[in-house]
Chains A and B, each alone.
Chain A
Amino acid sequence: MTDTMTGKPATAHIEGQQHPLKLYFLVWGLLFVLSAFSYMVDYAELQGMLRWSLILIFMLMKAGLIVAVFMHMAWERLALIYAILLPPAAVLAFLAIMTVESDYTFATRAVVFSGP
């Protein structure tokens, strides 16, 4: 695997993960800026789909930066990347199931709590 960030071959990392300091500072700065943005979403009292999509976008960008650069996943081999990053996709299936289930519970409660 060629190191996409530095252009050096990945074999340079056998002695450990050594990446340019500038990259770390860039990511660090970006994390601050993205956190400030997500805080601003609340401060500006945005609502509805705009609020939720902005929250999700900033969240996923922050998560991606942390995993890829700070946790060095960008420089690992596919064998490890797939083993760690693919299984959490199962959570999405669970999310779908629980959404349906919660809607059902909500509807049932609406009927029962309204009383005879």
Chain B
Amino acid sequence: MAEHTLHADRAQGLDGFVKDWSSDQRAFKRVSWGKAMMWIFLLSDTFVFSIFLLGYMSARMSTQSEWPNASEVFALHVGGVELPLLLIAIMTFVLISSSGTMAMAVRCGYARARKATAGLMYLTAFLGATFVGMQAFEWTKLIQEGVRPWENPFGAEQFGASFFMITGFHGTHVSFGVLFLIIIATKIWRGSFDRPGRTWLKSGAGDYEAVEIMGLYWHFVDLVWVFIFAFFYLW
């Protein structure tokens, strides 16, 4: 720690960037390996989702039949009124809320507030599970209406394949995020992050960085939803 803080602020700006990248042993100074690797994993995941969205774009641009109007396909009837994209809007707000509670959890983690950190992470996991639940409802509704990966009653056949693949992959990410949130929150709640000794999640007592790394993943899932919401549901 002392060694790399010593060199950390030697040069800034573009000059500092070149010095960091050409330096001995580590390019990402003051960033732990866990965090750097999570960022690199997220970069690879960015490419996965980018390619899904590009595949969807290609299918939509090259089809001869009319693309289904998402505004109508995902509308809900509430009290006799048809509200466009209502469920999707609620899902968006739930996921943003969960991103906010996760950011709070990271902050509480660095303040070593054990119970607040775990509680906020449980709340994040609950909101994430709510999101997945609503997505399951949406899938059920569409499947009942006859949407399949190879056909649907609304228009271009590629709609179903794009929809199930993109939202399915995103929902899987959310589900695994919920699982890991619960695992880490439970460990924090039991106080294992405040005990000395090294485990796969911490390097010693009071090392709450795992919460921030978990947060990176969770915010990324929210970030992907921002793009899916814009390109798949609104476009």
Residues of chain A whose beta carbon lies under 8 Å from any beta carbon of chain B: 1, 9-11, 14-19, 21, 24, 27-28, 31-32, 35, 38-39, 41-43, 45, 51-52, 55-56, 58-59, 62-63, 66-67, 69-72, 76-80, 82-84, 87-88, 91, 94-95, 98-99, 101-103, 105-106, 109-110, 113
Contacts and interface: CB of A to CB of B under 8 A. Distances in A.
B230 A56 contact: yes
Chain B binding surface, main DSSP class:
helix
Nearest to A71: B219
B64 A109 contact: yes
B99 A59 contact: no
Contacts of A67: 219, 223
B30 A77 contact: yes
Contacts of B43: 83-84, 87-88
Given A10-B9, A71-B219, A94-B54, A24 B104 contact: yes
B9 A38 contact: no
Interface in B60-115: 61-64, 71, 84-85, 89, 92-93, 96, 99-100, 102-104, 106-107, 109-111
A91 B50 contact: yes
B61 A78 contact: no
A39 B99 CA distance: 19
Contacts of A55: 230, 234-235
A17 B235 contact: no
Given A99-B61, A106-B61, A79 B17 contact: yes
B208 interface: yes
Given A16-B209, A42-B85, A70 B103 contact: yes
Contact of A106 (B8, B40, B64, B219): B64
Given A32-B93, A42-B84, A84-B39, A79 B9 contact: no
A102 B58 contact: yes
Interface string B29-61: 111000010011011001100110010011001
Given A71-B220, A102-B58, A109-B64, A77 B28 contact: yes
Contacts of B220: 71
A57 B155 CA distance: 28
Given A14-B5, A17-B212, A51-B234, 13 more contacts: A27-B103, A38-B234, A39-B89, A43-B85, A59-B230, A71-B223, A78-B13, A98-B54, A98-B58, A99-B61, A102-B58, A105-B62, A106-B61
Contacts of A24: 100, 103-104, 107
29 contacts: A15-B110, A16-B209, A16-B212, A17-B106, A17-B212, A18-B111, A21-B107, A24-B107, A28-B103, A38-B230, A39-B85, A43-B85, A62-B226, A63-B227, A70-B99, A70-B219, A70-B222, A77-B16, A77-B28, A77-B31, A78-B14, A78-B20, A79-B16, A88-B47, A88-B50, A95-B54, A106-B61, A106-B64, A109-B63
